[in-house]
Amino acid sequence: MDPIQLIQFDTAHQPRAYVNSSVRFHHIFSDADRLQAAKKAGWNVFQFPSEMLLGGDLLSDSGTTTLTAEQVAAMFLGDEAYGSNYGYFKLLESFAEVFGIPQEESEVFLFHQGRAAEHALFTQVGKWGKGMIIPGNGHFDTTQANIECNQMTAVDLFLPELKKSDYHPFKGNMDLERLEALLKEKGDHIPMVYLTITNNTGGGQPVSLENIRAVRKLCDEYGKPLFLDVCRFAENAWFIKNREEQYKNTPIPEIVHETFALCDGFTVSLKKDGLTNMGGALLIKRSSRIIKEHEALLNDLRDHQILTEGHPTYGGMTGRDIMVIAEGLRTVVKEEYLNSRIGQVHAFGEYLEKNNVPVLTPFGGHAVYIDVNRFFEGTKHKPEDFGGVALTALLLLKGVRLCELGAFAFGHWDKEQQKEVLPSNNFVRCAVPRNKYEIQDLLYVADCVIELHKKRHEIPRAVPVHGRELTLRHFKARFELGEIK
């Protein structure tokens, strides 16, 4: 008997890449307790107490990671010195190693989270002229807001395939034809091109290296810097390895280096692939043309950082946070981690799909997106009944939290016309925190969604009773649930 021969079989289930070293038990609440809390919160998911959730808090994958034992150990080495703490140097080493950009080539600015880094960058870029446009493959809402509050326009050049149900391996790619047309027509007003990997606004879809390289080539032809938003750079690299034929044998760390070699700089929220609970950064390569063309840039950025975040060597973070990031970046590029992480998101999505819940496919790396318009097809629901909000409201009662990113979050109320202006996408997002849940938790979430899908004709409408006309209204609004007419 050859023992190795005997174990040559496939299994339906795969082990995770890790085991739990610390757990937190749920507190016990009744349906009635949750109903009372949901009403008090005006059915707004952001206002609902997280302690009442039952292992299905899929509101965001941002800052919600469970730390590894190595990160917890590193945290104890956090040095809370005001200037040049120990972790700062460890973080710079980690950046150089993981991103492949040598320390002597990079100007690194630390911030407490991604949007603070975007704010610093676009406050400076906004000074370079009037009527400027920043083209991207799909700006995240904070990026768009930071561009627009500095009197520039954020233009999203989504691939047309994103809207289609047919398979495309890289639906997050930039539409190159429209980018070239824009550079040709309005090049004088374009200070930089911005590429978000993976494309969170575009359904969490990945961007291919071929596309990043083609964008770089266009940037070079038209003399423009290329900046990346790299919140989910490691997950993007996993897709490149698994879907771009020529990279199937390339190790993930090398794909990451190739990606970063193509940019002039980047902004990042380290709360995603930094595997941390708080942190962000802006990095500009010293070789970038923007440093030569804008002499004051680096000094002005340092001033901005000192005014808003503190000394550049801690940038709004504690020494402990910094140590956790330095360690997390080394874990996130491990293939066994990424296989387990993205495999879990996909298993969750496939279960929903198999049970007839309309979801955006192929699945991205960090979330599964429920297509709200298709979910309510054949019912009396209209998009302005905010069925996506009503679905997330009812799920709170089952201890599950998802996030509407559609008619309510991205639409707005037109005061003059007294009607809703609807966005083109209408999703409910199930964002999966890293290293936090077991597949059983996600299948419970899916079961709740599947049952409500069967009862979709009975789902009420969500009526905004406060905040309909406000900016960023999804964070602030209150609703009542009303009969569907």
Q: Does 446 bind ligand F0G (CB under 6 A)?
A: no
CB of 31 to ligand F0G, least distance (A): 28
User: Coil, strand, or helix at residue 354?
Assistant: helix
Report the distance separating Cα 290 and Cα 293, nearest Å. Answer: 5
Q: Are 479 and 465 in contact (CB under 8 A)?
A: yes
Nearest CA to 358 out of 347, 349, 346, 348 is that of 349
Q: Does 62 bind ligand F0G (CB under 6 A)?
A: yes
Q: Does 392 bind ligand F0G (CB under 6 A)?
A: no
Among 114, 225, 315, 460, binds ligand F0G (CB under 6 A): 114
Nearest CA to 116 out of 337, 387, 308 is that of 308
Print the binding letters for residues 8-47 with ligand F0G: x by CB under 6 A, - otherwise.
----------------------------------------
Q: Partners of 269 in the beta sheet?
A: 280
Residue closer to ligand F0G, measured from CB, 239 or 376: 239
CB of 364 to ligand F0G, least distance (A): 11
Among 144, 200, 208, 288, binds ligand F0G (CB under 6 A): 200
Q: List C-alpha distances in Å: 458 to 38, 390, 461, 462.
A: 19, 11, 9, 13
Residue closer to ligand F0G, measured from CB, 276 or 381: 276
Report the distance separating Cα 96 and Cα 470, nearest Å. Answer: 42
Q: Does 229 bind ligand F0G (CB under 6 A)?
A: yes
Q: What share of the chain is helix, strand, coil (3-state, %, to 5)?
A: 45, 15, 40
Q: Does 65 bind ligand F0G (CB under 6 A)?
A: no
Residue closer to ligand F0G, measured from CB, 280 or 349: 280
Subset of residues 420 to 439 that bind ligand F0G, contact rule: CB under 6 A: 431
Q: Does 173 bind ligand F0G (CB under 6 A)?
A: no
Residue closer to ligand F0G, measured from CB, 46 or 82: 46
Residue closer to ligand F0G, measured from CB, 69 or 472: 472
Residue closer to ligand F0G, measured from CB, 269 or 344: 269
Q: With contacts defined by CB under 6 A, how many residues of the chain interact with ligand F0G?
A: 16
Q: Are 401 and 59 in contact (CB under 8 A)?
A: yes
Letter string b/e over residues 40-76, b meaning 16 or more CB atoms within 10 A of that residue's CB: ebbbbbeebeeebbbbbbbbbbbbbbbbbeebeebbe
Print the binding letters for residues 258-287 with ligand F0G: x by CB under 6 A, - otherwise.
-----------x-x--------x-------
Report the distance separating Cα 80 and Cα 321, nearest Å. Answer: 10
Nearest CA to 207 out of 161, 261, 171 is that of 171
User: Coil, strand, or helix at residue 111?
Assistant: strand
H-helix segments, 187-334: 209-221, 233-243, 252-261, 289-293, 297-308, 319-332
Residue closer to ligand F0G, measured from CB, 200 or 318: 200
CB of 248 to ligand F0G, least distance (A): 26
Nearest CA to 297 out of 84, 107, 92, 146 is that of 107
Q: Does 202 bind ligand F0G (CB under 6 A)?
A: no
Q: Which helix (H) or strand (E) holds 110?
A: strand 106-111
Q: How far is CA 452 from the centre of its chain?
A: 26
User: Residue 64 has which token pair?
Assistant: 């919600």
Subset of residues 85 to 104 that bind ligand F0G, contact rule: CB under 6 A: none
CB of 63 to ligand F0G, least distance (A): 7
CB of 10 to ligand F0G, least distance (A): 35
Among 143, 144, 259, 426, binds ligand F0G (CB under 6 A): 143
Residue closer to ligand F0G, measured from CB, 182 or 431: 431
Contacts of 354 (CB under 8 A, 6+ apart): none
Subset of residues 400 to 419 that bind ligand F0G, contact rule: CB under 6 A: none
Q: Does 331 bind ligand F0G (CB under 6 A)?
A: no
Q: Does 321 bind ligand F0G (CB under 6 A)?
A: no
Q: Does 60 bind ligand F0G (CB under 6 A)?
A: yes
Report the distance separating Cα 37 and Cα 48, nearest Å. Answer: 7
Q: Does 313 bind ligand F0G (CB under 6 A)?
A: no
User: Residue 46 has which token pair?
Assistant: 């952001």
With CB atoms as reference, the residue minimizing the distance to ligand F0G is: 114
Q: Does 146 bind ligand F0G (CB under 6 A)?
A: no
Q: Are 331 and 273 in contact (CB under 8 A)?
A: no
Residue closer to ligand F0G, measured from CB, 435 or 459: 435
- Binding residues vs ligand F0G (CB under 6 A): 60, 62, 113-115, 140, 142-143, 196, 200, 229, 231, 269, 271, 280, 431
